[in-house]
């Protein structure tokens, strides 16, 4: 069985191969894997749309050439478009080492009988810790004070009452989205002494209550929260979930954090809200356009903390992604149900054929 490890400079091919070798060590001889590597340019080159998919790295022709003779591909960023899948008749599985297979044309994979899996929760600890870091940096002006001090400016004025920050201890923090990341964030906030609210129409109310978190409607969460942090998945339903009308519900001086997806937030009203003081601070790791252009209005808005989409960038995330992905390949080759199928309609019978029709 030839497996293409289409890694990049984060989830590297050697990490994928090591995880696969450990997972597949006990397979029968006829399924012993033969590995081929491909290194895609991300993150040294930004990802983007390729063919019919989004957030991909590399080219279709490059991937088609590397897939020759491969039955399985493990990847984070490779562009599995209709063109690539149609040109790879031996391909039976695409195991994506990220939280959603946005680099795969799922409809095309399903039509061609190719199973697709993904790796939910791979970056949950990293992303949760980063969100807390963004909150603290925005609430206490850490990055502003750091930059000014390095430029020879001592910001003693930040000790003035009017300029003072707020604490998480005793603050009401609203989490929009309560999946794996939001749940870890809530646990940390509770330890800080925060009152935590959550809005997630898909969350189990009993499980949320058991975490000591209050499940509320979105408008109620926004009206009550000193800090709001976004942790929802981006869908057509959640695009611009937080728009100008929703932002108007926030208490004056509230802090807003987005480390989930840029499309959740309407960025257009934010510069005005920051300059007027209606919004106290803003912390961002994701954007409507990545990277933001040089004339982006928030570059010179006050009280903004920014990072270049780094929430999941830990070595542990890369190892976890490889391990989750390798476990799915092991299930596939043993004929077991996948734990994280993206197209469950591709059944074991048709995915284990020698080649696709």
Specify the DSSP element, H or E, that contains 272: helix 270-276
Q: At 144, give phi and psi (nearest 5°).
A: -65, -45
pLDDT at 352: 47
What tokens appear for 109 in the block? 């994979």
Contact call for residues 76 and 7 (beta carbons, < 8 A): yes
pLDDT tens, 105-143? 999 999 999 999 999 999 999 999 999 999 999 999 999
SS3 category, 198: strand
Asked if 163 is an active-site residue, the reply is no
Asked if 290 is an active-site residue, the reply is yes
- Residues 6 or more apart whose CB falls under 8 angstroms from that of 99 comprise 118, 119, 120, 121, 122, 123
What tokens appear for 152 in the block? 């020879």
What are the pLDDT tens digits along the chain (357 aa)?
A: 899 999 999 999 999 999 999 999 987 766 678 999 999 999 999 899 999 998 999 999 999 999 999 999 999 999 999 999 999 999 999 999 999 999 999 999 999 999 999 999 999 999 999 999 999 999 999 999 999 999 999 999 999 998 899 999 999 999 999 999 999 999 999 999 999 999 999 999 999 999 999 999 999 999 999 999 999 999 999 999 999 999 999 999 999 999 999 999 999 999 999 999 999 999 999 999 889 999 999 999 999 999 999 999 999 999 999 999 999 999 999 999 999 999 999 976 544 444 444
Asked if 240 is an active-site residue, the reply is no
- Residues 6 or more apart whose CB falls under 8 angstroms from that of 90 comprise 67, 69, 70, 71, 355, 356
Place of tokens 């069985």: 1
Domains of the chain (ranges; CATH) run: 2-122+314-351 (3.40.50.720), 124-306 (3.40.50.720)
Q: Alpha helices, DSSP H only, in 235-314?
A: 244-247, 270-276
The catalytic residue among 36, 98, 261, 331 is 261
Rounded Cα gap, residues 159 and 262, in angstroms: 33
pLDDT at 353: 47
- Residues 6 or more apart whose CB falls under 8 angstroms from that of 73 comprise 3, 4, 6, 67, 80, 91, 93, 94, 95
pLDDT at 96: 98
The catalytic residue among 92, 122, 141, 309 is 309
What tokens appear for 76 in the block? 């984070």
Other CB atoms closer than 10 Å to residue 75's CB: what's the count?
30
Q: How far is CA 252 from CA 98, 144, 151, in A?
A: 37, 21, 30
What tokens appear for 81 in the block? 């478009």
The catalytic residue among 65, 68, 163, 290 is 290
Q: How far is CA 267 from CA 47, 201, 243, 247, 263, in A?
A: 21, 24, 8, 10, 9
SS3 category, 209: helix
Rounded Cα gap, residues 36 and 3, in angstroms: 6
Q: How does strand 115-117 pair with strand 2-7?
A: unpaired
- Side-chain half-sphere of 93: how many Cα atoms within 13 Å? 34
pLDDT tens, 288-329? 988 999 999 999 999 999 999 999 999 999 999 999 999 999
């Amino acid at each position: 069985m030839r497996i293409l490890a289409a890694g990049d400079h984060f989830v590297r091919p050697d990490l994928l191969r090591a995880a696969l070798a450990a997972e597949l060590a006990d397979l029968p001889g006829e399924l012993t894997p033969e590995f081929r590597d491909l290194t895609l340019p991300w993150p040294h080159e930004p990802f983007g749309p390729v063919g019919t998919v989004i957030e991909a790295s590399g080219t279709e022709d490059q991937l088609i050439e590397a897939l020759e003779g491969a039955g399985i591909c493990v990847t984070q960023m490779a562009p599995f478009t209709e063109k690539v899948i149609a040109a790879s008749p031996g391909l039976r599985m695409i195991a994506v080492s990220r939280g959603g297979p946005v680099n795969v044309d799922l409809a095309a994979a399903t039509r061609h009988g190719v199973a697709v899996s993904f790796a939910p929760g791979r970056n949950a600890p990293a992303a949760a810790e980063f969100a807390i870091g963004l909150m603290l940096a925005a609430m206490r002006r850490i990055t502003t004070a750091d930059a000014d001090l390095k430029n020879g400016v001592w910001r003693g004025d930040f000790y003035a009452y009017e300029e003072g920050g707020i604490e998480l201890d005793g603050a009401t923090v609203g989490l929009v989205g309560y999946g794996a990341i939001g749940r870890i964030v809530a646990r940390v906030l509770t330890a800080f002494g925060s009152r935590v609210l959550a809005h997630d129409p898909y969350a189990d109310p009993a499980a949320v209550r058991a975490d000591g978190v209050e499940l509320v409607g979105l408008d109620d969460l926004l009206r009550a929260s000193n800090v709001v942090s976004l942790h929802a998945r981006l869908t057509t339903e959640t695009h611009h979930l937080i728009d100008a009308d929703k932002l108007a519900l926030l208490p004056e001086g509230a802090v807003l954090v987005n480390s989930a997806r840029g499309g959740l937030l309407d960025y257009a009203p934010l510069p005005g809200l920051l300059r007027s003081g209606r919004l106290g601070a803003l912390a961002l790791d994701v954007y409507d356009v990545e990277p933001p252009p040089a004339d982006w209005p928030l570059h010179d808005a006050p009280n903004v903390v920014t990072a270049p989409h780094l929430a999941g960038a830990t070595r542990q995330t890369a190892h976890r992604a490889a391990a989750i992905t390798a476990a799915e390949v092991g299930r596939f080759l043993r004929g077991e149900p996948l734990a994280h199928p993206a197209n469950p309609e591709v059944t074991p019978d048709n995915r284990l054929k020698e080649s696709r029709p």
